[in-house]
Structure 1
Amino acid sequence: MKSLEAELADARDLDVTAIADAIESIGFECTRCGACCKAIECGDEDAGDGAADEHTATVFPDEIRRLQGADDEYDFRDVARPMPYGLSEGADGPEGETFEWSLQTDDCGDCTFYTEDEDGMGACSVHGDRPLICRTYPFSVALGGTSQPMGEAVDREGMVRAHECEGLGREIDRAEAESLAEALKERAVRELEEAIAVRDNYDPVEPEPGEVVVHDSEGQKRPDGTPLDR
């Protein structure tokens, strides 16, 4: 297995033209269905036991600050929540240690920045500042240490993986494919840089009952994004 540093070197060497070729071959056009921004329905709704897994999309610390806005339009918790993986449900809610942040969700489990018009067409209220994982969906790069959003890939062309999306297979403009390819390479590099920094800054703690500790590239933090002082 390659080290994260070796994977990062590979990510930095990725050929944007080759990535764009792969995206063009697979094909993609956003249909604004909103599936990638909403909670994932699970269970048998006809039987009355339908449930939903909350929308979960990784967001980096600097992306959180950008989404907060230059004038602090949003509080930290308006933008992000601790990644739920690794946390357990205590008497007063989630508790334990986790790594990284996920975009905040609303009461329905959808991304808090997701909106729909009267015709049911989806939109992002922070589209210009949306995180890299949102900019590049439904694609990812097949390098160790990078994430696969929304589960396993349903198609693959070289290093490029495509994940479940009704927009796959549609014709894509070359300029758009190249822009997407550039963002995809940037995301692969950022994910690996973040993973290395999380590893290097990791300092195990023993959370108190009812406490959540988040480890990110900048150290240990509380759910509101402030540093954890022990």
Structure 2
Amino acid sequence: MESLEAELDRARDLSVPDLADAIESIGFECTRCGACCKGATTKEGDEEPHTATVFPDEVRHIQSKTGYDYRDVARPMPYGLTEGENGPEGETFEWALQTDACGDCTFYTEDDDGRGACTVHEDRPLICETYPFSVALGGTSQPMGEAVDEAGMVRAHECEGLGRDIDREHAEELAAALKERAVRELEEAIGVRDNYEPTETGPGEIVVHDSEGAKREDGTPLKRASRGDDAPDNR
């Protein structure tokens, strides 16, 4: 298995034209169905909230555009947490976009015709900008489950917009964002690994480890990052 650093080198060497060729061969046009922004029902019939990873700096960017608190934008990734007497608790390693009471992305809305829309569309995270595609590199994420199609390094995930014609300009824009996301995901994974220190959590307490260090649920540092006083405090 290749190291994260080796995978990062591969991500940085990805060819945007080649990625665009792959996207064109699969085909895609957003139908604004909203499925990728909503909670889902599992095969077992359980309701599963919308879960989309977001980088710490993306959270702060959305904060700067909306004036929202950190917890209004992002929540601890639920995977790895356990259900205690006072709710979820434990350590996790990513942030996810916040959800509403229905389990949908908090930024999801619908117009009068029932078509899905995003209230932070121009500032949406890379994972949203590049859906339904991902890159087949170790250390990168596969949103919304396993791939349903692939071409070269590009994986396509469940979406009713797949198979539709896409023009070259749009394919290249998607490809450039997809490469950027792959690089960012691997940089984040390396940062998490390098900054991780096991942390004891009490009942009902959650600690999120991201590339900037250990944080509370509201995004504030649990303790000062070891790299110095220039680390962001997210306050």
TM-score (norm 1): 0.95
1:117, distance to aligned residue in structure 2 (A): 1.3
Alignment identity in percent? 77
Residue of structure 1 equivalent to 2:232: none
Which residue type is aligned with residue 214 of structure 2?
Q
Which residue type is aligned with residue 120 of structure 2?
V
Q: Distance in 1 between matches of 2:91 and 2:214?
A: 10
Residue of structure 1 equivalent to 2:128: 134
1:208, distance to aligned residue in structure 2 (A): 1.0
Kindly indicate whether residue 151 of structure 2 is the aligned counterpart of residue 167 of structure 1.
Answer: no
Kindly indicate whether residue 110 of structure 2 is the aligned counterpart of residue 116 of structure 1.
Answer: yes
Which residue type is aligned with residue 60 of structure 1?
F
Which residue type is aligned with residue 96 of structure 2?
S
Structure 1, unaligned stretches of length 5 or more? 45-49
Alignment counterpart, residue 82 of structure 1, candidates 60, 68, 76: 76
Mapping 1:48-127, distance limit 5 Å: 50-69=45-64, 73-127=67-121
1:42, distance to aligned residue in structure 2 (A): 2.8
1:15, distance to aligned residue in structure 2 (A): 0.3
Report how many aligned residue pairs link the two structures.
224
Q: Distance in 1 between matches of 2:55 and 2:43?
A: 31
Kindly indicate whether residue 224 of structure 2 is the aligned counterpart of residue 222 of structure 1.
Answer: no
Taking only aligned residues, the RMSD between alpha carbons, in angstroms, comes to 1.2
Q: Secondary structure at the match of 1:69?
A: helix
Which residue type is aligned with residue 71 of structure 2?
R
Mapping 1:178-193, distance limit 5 Å: 178-193=172-187
Q: Distance in 2 between matches of 1:210 and 1:165?
A: 36
Which residue type is aligned with residue 138 of structure 1?
P
Kindly indicate whether residue 34 of structure 2 is the aligned counterpart of residue 34 of structure 1.
Answer: yes
1:43, distance to aligned residue in structure 2 (A): 5.0
Structure 2, unaligned stretches of length 5 or more? 225-235
Residue of structure 1 equivalent to 2:230: none
Which stretches of structure 1, 4 residues or longer, exceed 2 Å deviation after superposition? none
1:69, distance to aligned residue in structure 2 (A): 1.6
Which residue type is aligned with residue 119 of structure 1?
D
Please list the CA deviations of residues 50-109 of structure 1 after superposition, one character each: whole Å capped at 9, or x if unmatched: 431000000000000001025x61000000000000111111111000001000000000
Please list the CA deviations of residues 130-185 of structure 1 after superposition, one character each: whole Å capped at 9, or x if unmatched: 00000000000000000000000000000000000000000001000000000000
TM-score (norm 2): 0.93
Q: Distance in 2 between matches of 1:43 and 1:161?
A: 23
1:41, distance to aligned residue in structure 2 (A): 1.7
